[in-house]
Amino acid sequence: MNENALREQICLFAKSLYDRGLAHGSTGNISARCEDGGLLVSPTNSSFGFLDPAELSRFDADGNQVSGAKPTKEMSLHTAFYDTRGNDAGAVVHLHSHHSVLLSMMPDVNADDMLPPLTPYPIMKLGRVKMLPYFKPGDDAMGQAIRDLGGERSAVVLANHGPVVASKDLQSAIFGMEELEAAARLTLDTLGRQPRMLTAEQVVLLSTFQS
């Protein structure tokens, strides 16, 4: 996809998230890999509802900003995924979406595998979702925590903060984020109700299936 089309796509997807209440105010950030290996990144203190394609922060393949507004203060989240997941990271999306954040605050959450195996698609699109500790927004330690995962996870939730999803392209990252938020909501809705879950054998089969 050429750069102009990618700029438009970033803003279109961001506005969709904003319009549906998955992003609010100036929360959240998004990035995508350009054909030349550089990045387009949402600016700091910007609203997903009103992103300007021309104002997106542009970085070259060496990580130098070459145009656009000042980028999100959480660049370390994005670069950590790109550096550790290689070709599996063509875009990264970070939100403060309600249900994912709420789930991260619940007691007894399995930090190594936040989402119980209730339905197929979170397993197929995200694999196991890791909950990371709380970090102050903008703290570079968030990026280091992702690097410490060695590229093994495509999605994490920062405790008391929000989810981050990396995928092969922007559409896949957006869809993965939506799946994570829906799964978090379903998990919360079934707390204490002893739902019937997928079996271990079913989970193994799903983990090898690409949707």
Catalytic residue among 18, 82, 121, 201: 121
Choose among 31, 71, 23, 66: nearest CA to 48: 23
Catalytic residue among 74, 178, 179, 181: 74
DSSP secondary structure letter of residue 70: P
**Complete edge-to-edge strand list for the sheet that includes strand 57-59:** 65-67, 57-59, 39-41, 29-33, 91-94, 162-167, 155-158, 130-132
134 a catalytic residue: no
82 a catalytic residue: no
- Please, what's the b/e burial string for 164-197 (b: 16 or more CB within 10 A of its CB; e: otherwise)? bbbbbbbebbbbbbbbbbbbbbbbeeeeeeeeee
Calculate the alpha carbon distances from 196 to 116, 144, 187 in Å.
10, 37, 12
Q: Distance between CA atoms of 187 and 103, rounded to whole angstroms?
A: 8
Catalytic residues: 74, 121
